[in-house]
Amino acid sequence: MENYPEPVSANKLKEKILVSNPDVTRLLDRLVKKGHVVRETCLENRRKIDISLSESGIKLYEKAHLSAKKAVRNFFEDQISAKEAKELRRILHKIRG
């Protein structure tokens, strides 16, 4: 959701999720087929493919994000303090770039 509502290029998406090119292509094909993402040719650069979330993709993302957030919170709740959690988040964002 980092770029939302702007589309992201397929190449940028591949960089962000750190999987091989064929795997991303197959994943995108399945998500398009299920109606969760829209794949369009960029108007400014015909060689670039733009990927956008559809309404159902947004709902799926929100549901998965909430579920993951709860799971992570429950996992770490007794392991680290709130201050340590903030520091970990800062470090992870720094690494992510």
> pLDDT tens-digit profile of 44-89?
888 888 899 999 999 999 999 999 888 877 777 778 888 998 899 8
Residue 97 falls inside a structural domain = no
What is the mean predicted confidence (pLDDT) over 39-48? 86
DSSP 48: -
CATH assignment at residue 17: 1.10.10.10
Question: How many structural domains compose the chain?
Answer: 1
The residue among 28 and 75 whose pLDDT is bigger is: 28
Q: What is residue 55's predicted lDDT score, i.e. its pLDDT?
A: 94
Residue 72 falls inside a structural domain = no
For the cut 80, the answer to whether the pLDDT of residue 1 exceeds it is no
Alpha carbon dihedral 45, 50, 55, 56, in 10-degree steps, equals 150
Q: Tell me which residue range forms the domain holding 44.
A: 1-53
